[in-house]
Structure 1
Amino acid sequence: MTVERLVAIMARLRDPERGCDWDVAQTWATIAPYTIEEAYEVADAIARDDATDLKDELGDLLLQVVFHSRIAEEAGAFTLDDVVASISEKMERRHPHIFGDAAQSPGWEELKAAERSGKSDASALAGVAAGLPALMRAVKLQKRAARVGFDWPDADGSRVKLHEEIEEVTAATGDEIEDEIGDLLFAAVNWARHLGVDPETALRRGNAKFERRFRAMEAIAGESFPALSLDDKEALWQRVKRG
């Protein structure tokens, strides 16, 4: 089985006369949310260590690449072959120690910096996609800034900054609160990064833990759970935390 079959299926789905009305109506912008969703579903299958689901989710993600490429081909912008050629060239270019002269190979960061320097935006922050999830984008922005020396030397600096941001949230009023909460979250990401923790993964685990414990409370209390007092709910929470 080759990718050509999938390419042919997408071409048929996008056929203005014989295709699917929904598929024909889509644009890069309208299917972008589905692309993001599929990437998260791949990550979820990996987190659950479910190889069968991972196979299916990777197929769904591949479909998104083919879909975007088909829209581009119809517009005369590029084809799926161009996408494959572009990433192949990039991987070879970024691994000269494997595909080129190891003795003359610059480091990974030097290679990426050289690529950025040839673009109109030469900032150290250039190329960090605005569409990334906020936590993930915060990490990438901080790492880029750190490469040019704008970073705390250790975790203590970021920890102190976090406490500073908490105080600023406490003192904020009105529209200031949202901005200060944003600064607080950014500082929390920075501290996590210095501690070697991926905040996106940590929050996913936190979400899963909360859901597991909340469902356990509901299972214990049954239909009476919503009517319980906050104190009774807290007692249940402590019970399920103890396992």
Structure 2
Amino acid sequence: MGNRCYLYLKNPKKELPLFEANNSLPFFWIAILDKKILIDKIQQWKAYEQYAEKHTEEETELYLKQYSNNLSLDQETFTRNAKRTQEFLTENFSETLPLFNDFVKFIHSKFETDDRLEIDITQFSAFYDSLEEFFLDLTSEMDAIENNQAANIKFLLPNDLIAAGTGFQSISGNEFSTLPTYTNAIQNRGIPQQPFSRKSLIVAITILMICPLFSYWAYRIYTKDGFNTWVIIIGFLNMLFYLYSISTIILEIKAYRKNPQ
């Protein structure tokens, strides 16, 4: 089954599951938190870890009911942290912004009076050798967002904005699954995005500039010897070079627009 994480709304009367993840911690979840939330919770995590080492599974479950390990935030904190992340994504990962905006709007639409947004990542922490290591990884991600250091981001994978973005919508969140941004993210899972390559762009432009010379060469042979095998070979290869260079230039321009370097 793997180590699962859950994001849901909770008040004294009910819980509303929104998203879940399996063997991953979605970046969007981290991005709506802040360091104060983590710092306030780390001591409780350590107390739970010590308790779990000395007690049975049933006793540990009872302990968690009394002392939740969940990260919890109110709507005001959620709004403030989401706005900070929107600015970060706009500048550094603009292709992820439409999905993040829909993620935020969806959660806002579900908030009711006295609700708190709860994130249960207890199981995911088992991937780490210690809670301290897990805590440092999370705070490092938040530092990268707050200080606009895109190169230090670990949890966001643009080619999988489900496992590393929103998580999977829960049954109660069916309307989110119909949004185009979410369905596109599902369809594009695992499809690698071509990074911009200046070298590849220069090579393609160079080939494109040389192509007219081969066209002229084929024309000279044709005017001198007529339509022969050499004209066919040179013309065919030249056409392939045209197609390769033009398509490569287009792809590199698109890659640059998505992630300027």
TM-score, L = length of structure 1: 0.28
Task: Give the number of the structure with larger relative contact order, counting CA–CA contacts within 8 Å between residues 6 or more apart.
Answer: 2
Bigger-Rg structure (1/2): 2
As a proportion of its length, which structure holds more helix? 1
TM-score, L = length of structure 2: 0.26
